[in-house]
Amino acid sequence: MTATAVAQHIDLFRERFVKITQEVGRRIVGNEEIVSSTVMSLLAGGHVLLEGIPGVGKTSLVHTLADVLHLKFSRIQFTPDLMPADIVGTNIVQEHHEKGGTFFEFQPGPIFANIVLADEINRATPKTQSALLEAMQDQSVSVGNTTYKLDQPFLVLATQNPLEMEGTYPLPEAQLDRFFFKLKVKYPSEESMHQIVDRTTTTGDISVSRVVDGAQILEMRHVARSVPIAKPVQSYAIRLTLGTHPESPYATPLVKKYVRYGASPRAAQSIVLAGKIQALTRGHAFVSAEDVKAVALPALRHRVLLNFEGEAEQVNADTIVEELLAATRADG
Amino acid sequence: MATLSSETPDRRVQDIVAAADQQRRARDARRLLIRLAPLAGGLAVLVAISVRLLRGSSTISLAVLGLLAVAVAAIVFWLGRRRPSTDEIALRVDTDAQLAGELRSAHWFSITGSGDEWISYHLDRAADRAAKVSWRELYPRESGTPAWLMSGVCVVAVVALAVIVPQRQSLVAAGSTAETTTLPGLPPELQAKLDAMLAKMKAGTLQGDDATLADLKNIAKLDPKLQKTIDELMKNKLGQDAQKLKDGKPVDPADKERPSNGGLPEDVRWALEDLAKRLANSNQERQTNDKNPAASDQTGEKGMGSDQASTQQANSTEAQMQLVREASSDASASQMMMGGGGMGGQQSGQQGNNGAQKGAAEANVLAIAQALKKETVEANEDMLGKNVQKEDIRRKTEASKSGMGFTKVAPTATFDKSHATAPPPVPESRRPLLQNYFIRKQ
């Protein structure tokens, strides 16, 4: 690969990324940061946990993304009686019409798609949740004695409602750690509300076109991983991760006071990979400390586990991570 | 800027970072220099003024000025020197040039090295981008004209205080002395000589022999006012020397060249002069009684030889008196004069036919004079704790008289485990939080 080829890869990556976000933005009003972060997770091969109150467009975002990416989309509405087989699929008895007799045939579940929307994931039982999370981690599912590989790209977008906690099963920390990003969908602004109302209460059809397909997504993933990162910048990402641990020398006062466990090494992987994609979206062939800083909050916020004092005082994990970002120097 | 296209990208990046860092530090060094130069100049002026007020040597001011200039130059050179680039330097330069971390990242890859195409592309692009930055504009040099002007004024002031003012002072001093010490009936050439010597004495630069001082004293006897002035000057000189000896500082070497008896107490000096006169008289009487037979025997020209011998003896006596006076002031001078005295003795012995006896007498005189001089010098240099042993006065300890005592007071027990109370109930406001803790939120 020559320098010209590298430059072309960067330009193409950037062009496609902008196309995706612009196309999604035609239907989703506001939340540009959420859209770009979701696409970033898709390009990094990670999964996203979307948190927001009902009606802010979480499900619409996932729908739109699937339409734009020309990928197979499925939706699973998580309920307390949802079973693992309802997600991964099951072996069903079939009859041989010609030969006669019966045989077992695997009926794939909704997990066999490129983009899976796990709506209100915390309403299902831990057993069902773990079936999904196993697929997220291994990119494959096991039914009986057979393991089935999932199609690539595979992206799970799980949503959860932070208000209605009655009868829910909060995700365990180990399973939360498997999400690349946790994105908080904010309530739209007044101006955005005007646009939402205008678009959804008129006869106009807001259709989106498919700008990128699965193969191009995989190619973009490969390009993203080619971006070099200098050791001092990587060290910054690692120090940010270590800083979430209360016993770490990089820990801030808030971390020491309110955090029980800090982020796992997966967090550092997420930060670096997301930093590379962030650099490419800016047309850079390198990762800077600013790129790392820009992606650190969604990569760390769900990996910081508060202690009793933090829970009792309802400390926000975002506050802790933001303090950590402000306190950690890029040149340390 | 070092942006040679023939260089490899990694070399280019390193050179750019190093050059940019040098520019930055040169700017900082110049800023520091602009701040330090007036301060150093002001300090030099203060030193020069202090030296003038304390009547010190003008070379001190110039030396201090030179030292300050050298120190400032050394600091500036040290700060502005080119040094190998590090990641920290690259980050700072990158931040200043707003290169969004590209130069820092490229600098790291340029040091570690890699054949990856992405890294090569990154290095190329970073070097090109950094080469477009005008580092001179980014790190502009301040003119600092007011500071330079102030520093220049300070330097001029120091030089003026060190060179010009002392000359004027000596001229003014000479003029004022001439006005105040006019003696009635004194010849004009003698008056001028007197004025010049007084001016030198006041300036502390009088370098003369005893004859000069004797002249001065003889002239001073003509006028009580002048006598008082000379006595005060002599006392000041003695006081300064005594203070220097007390402080453990060596007396200014230049002082040794000043009036030979200037550093001695009056009574010692008189005693020395008196002794020298007596010795000279006794020697002269002895020579007169012998009628100088050796001279007539050896030369065969009695009258002539006798006259020459007596003239030589007179000269020798004068020389001996001079030797005694000089010997009383300084050891080195004494040694030198001893040699001169010996030669004088030999000459007179050859010419005056009385060499052996006269040589012995002169040796006695010199030995006594040297011994006296040594005694005087040692007495003058007696320093407590240096060459004078003093009985130690031990401080009496007051330990046995101390009335202080220590009493251990046992703390009273304030806690009884058997009466421990239950912890306070959970406040109602915290109760929901405690309950919610077990229903974990995401």
8 Å CB contact of B87 and A331: yes
A54 backbone dihedrals φ, ψ, rounded to 5° = -60, 140
Domain boundary among the residues B244, B263, B282 is at: B263
- As a whole number of Å, the CA-based R_g of chain B is 43
| A7 shares contact with chain B (CB less than 8 Å) | yes
On the 0-12 / 13-18 / 19+ scale of CB atoms within 10 A, B54 is exposed
Chain A, window 188-247: residues with a beta carbon less than 8 angstroms from a chain B beta carbon: 226-233
Long-range contact list for B226-231, CB < 8 A, 24+ apart?
B226/B181, B226/B183, B229/B181, B229/B198, B230/B198, B230/B201
Side-chain-side CA neighbours of residue B412 (13 Å): 1
The answer, as to whether pTM is greater than 0.80, is no
What residues does A94 pair with on adjacent strands?
A: A103
| Total number of domains in chain B | 3
**ipTM greater than cut 0.85:** no
Position A22 pLDDT exceeds 70: yes
Displacement of CA B180 from its chain's centroid (Å): 35
Residue A163 CB coordination number (10 Å): 9
Inform me whether the pLDDT recorded for B305 exceeds 70: no
Q: Is B45 found in the same domain as B120? A: yes
CB of B250 closer than 8 Å to CB of B381: no
Q: Are B18 and B57 found together in one domain? A: yes
Domain annotation covers residue B416: no
By C-alpha distance, which of A254, A236, A244, A249 is closest to A294?
A236
- Helices marked H in A139-264 — which ranges? 173-176, 190-200, 214-226, 231-242, 253-258
- When mean pLDDT is compared across A174-183, A233-242, B240-249, B349-358, the lowest value belongs to B349-358
Q: Are residues B123 and B231 in the same domain?
A: no
Residues B252 and B273 in one domain: no
Same domain, B224 and B119: no
CA distance A326 to A252: 10
* B193 in the same domain as B114: no
**Strand ranges for B254-304 from DSSP E:** none
Q: Do A171 and B442 touch (CB under 8 A)?
A: yes
pLDDT tens digits, residue range A70-113?
A: 888 899 998 989 999 899 998 888 888 887 788 888 889 999 99
Q: Where are the domains positioned within chain A?
A: 1-82+113-203, 227-332
**Which domain-ending residue is among B239, B263, B287?**
B263
Using a CB-CB cut-off of 8 Å, the residues of chain A touching B106 are 286
A1-82+113-203 CATH choice from 1.10.3720.10, 3.20.20.220, 3.40.50.300, 2.60.120.10: 3.40.50.300
Query: Quick one: pLDDT at residue A276?
Result: 95
Residue B275 belongs to what domain range? Answer: 268-380
Are A165 and B100 inside 8 Å of each other by CB? no
pLDDT bucket at B338, cuts 50 / 70 / 90:
very low
Interface residue A164 vs chain B (CB under 8 A): no
pLDDT single digits (tens) B231-271: 776 666 656 666 666 665 555 554 444 444 545 556 666 76
Under CATH, which number does the domain A227-332 receive?
1.10.8.80
Q: Do B243 and B327 fall into the same domain?
A: no
Q: What CA–CA distance (Å, rounded) separates B106 from B87?
A: 10
pLDDT given for residue B346 in this prediction: 42
- Min Cα–Cα distance to chain B from A23, Å: 28
Give yes or no: residues B218 and B342 share one domain: no
Domain end call among B213, B246, B263:
B263
A55/A261 Cα distance (integer angstroms): 33
pLDDT above 70 (res A210):
yes
Residue B86 lies in a domain: yes
What's the token pair of residue B259? 């009036």
Determine, yes or no, domain membership for B433: no
Which string of b and e fits A129-147 if b means at least 16 CB within 10 Å? bbbbbbbbeeeebebeeee
Nearest CA to A114 out of A147, A179, A65 is that of A65
Peptide bond into A153 cis (omega under 30): yes
Q: Using pLDDT thresholds of 50, 70 and 90, give the confidence band for residue B117.
A: confident
Q: What is the mean pLDDT of chain B?
A: 68
Let me know whether B255 and B275 are in one domain: no
Q: Which of A141-145, B293-297, B431-435 has the highest mean pLDDT?
A: A141-145
The answer to whether A115 and A155 are in contact (CB under 8 A) is: yes
Highest mean pLDDT among A4-8, A239-243, B66-70, B205-209: A239-243
- Residue B175 pLDDT > 60, yes or no? no
CA neighbor of A184 nearest in space, from A33, A26, A28, A27: A33
Closest alpha carbon to A245 in A272, A221, A264? A264
